[in-house]
Amino acid sequence: MLAIRIHETGGPEKLRVDDVPVPAPGAGELRLRVEAAGVNYLDTYLRTGLYPSVLPLIIGSEAAGVVTAVGAGVTDFRVGDRVATAKASGGYAAETLSPAAATVRVPDSASSQLAAALLLQGLTAHYLACSTFPLKPGDTALVHAGAGGVGLLLIQVARIRGARVIATVGSDAKVSLAREAGAEAVCIYTKENFAEAARKFTDGRGVDVAYDAVGRDTFEGTLDSLRPRGMFVSFGNASGPVPPFSPLVLSKKGSLFFTRPTLVHYMSTPAELRSRTDDLFAWLAAGTLKVRIGATFPLTAAAEAHRALEGRGTTGKLLLLP
């Protein structure tokens, strides 16, 4: 079968189209025929080596499709079920494996493309807004990269919870998307000072929470955007990792809280995963949550998808279609 693998870390050109054997599911695993694979920023970190992995590696942790085989001990799924996972072992492939405990059924109301577009980034938006800092009506939130995959979903989930959102985007073209998702204010942080905009948005007080997955480039400004005892949620490194800093900084900036969460710890049991995905698919069916598929690429054009994502020209979700 076709699969996109890296044999060494580096740029998008390291994504190789390989012919590999169809994997056999081990105990507790299932295999699915991939109908759509999600492209996530995480995939670029594995490709560059920012997050180390064992090579060669089939890239991709998000996929939706149809179950083609189940391993020993799997009782919840059968061949033919339509499923999605954010824990695929190599989603950029014709078929992939996923632990049954980390796999969800896709309701008839959602296509496989929508499911692959929603799952990983939707779960991320859900845990950030509902668990890491459980937003409540009237709270104010700063969401960076508000027209991106996670950004558009996070703004919407924050609005569903009654919070007010100021978003940042990298270009004029992205402003209307962040607004349509529900951001009350949008700052183009490539040419405006977003910390000043966040202060203005909150009458000088600072936001209650800042969701920052841009990393290195926004770290200082995000600290300056928060109210005393506000929470800095650092959940990604699109511009590079946040450099080491002294905890004293948090004291000086107003006894801030700082957390560096990752999805795997917020879908730690099948019940937790199911409760989040139940919310997401219910919001999707009700029309309160909209998923934007920004672009689709053939599986063999994975390198092009990575270039687009890292080039900041994309909005919403990118999918690979085997």
Q: What Rg, from alpha-carbon coordinates, does the chain have?
A: 19
Q: Which is nearer to ligand NDP, 25 or 122 (CB)?
A: 122
- Report if residue 117 touches ligand NDP, rule: CB under 6 A: no
What gap in Å lies between CA 62 and CA 98, rounded to an integer? 9
Q: Are strands 226-234 and 257-259 parallel, antiparallel or unpaired?
A: parallel
Among 145, 163, 165, 195, binds ligand NDP (CB under 6 A): 145
- In the bound complex, what is the minimum distance in angstroms from residue 105's beta carbon to ligand NDP? 22
Rounded to 5 degrees, φ, ψ at 251 are -65, -50
Residue 259 backbone phi and psi in degrees, to 5? -135, 150
- Of residues 6 and 233, the one with the C-beta less far from ligand NDP: 233
Q: Which amino acid is at 134?
A: P
Distances (CA, A) of 184 to 112, 187, 206, 212: 32, 10, 15, 18
The β-bridge partners of 297 are 320
Q: Find the shortest distance in angstroms from Cβ 317 to ligand NDP.
A: 7
To ligand NDP, the closest distance from the beta carbon of 262 in angstroms equals 4
Distance CA 123, CA 153 (A): 9
Q: Report the candidate in 65, 53, 56 with the shortest Cα–Cα distance to residue 21.
A: 56
Q: Between residues 255 and 275, which has the closer beta carbon with respect to ligand NDP?
A: 275
Give the DSSP H/E element, type plus range, for residue 103.
strand 103-105
Among 180, 217, 220, 279, binds ligand NDP (CB under 6 A): 217
**Closest to ligand NDP by CB, 18 or 220:** 220
Which member of 255, 262, 268, 269 binds ligand NDP (CB under 6 A)? Answer: 262
Binder among 5, 34, 41, 206 for ligand NDP (CB under 6 A): 41
Would you tell me which residues interact with ligand NDP (CB under 6 A)?
40-42, 121, 124, 145, 147-151, 169-170, 174, 213-214, 217, 235-239, 261-263, 309-310, 312, 314
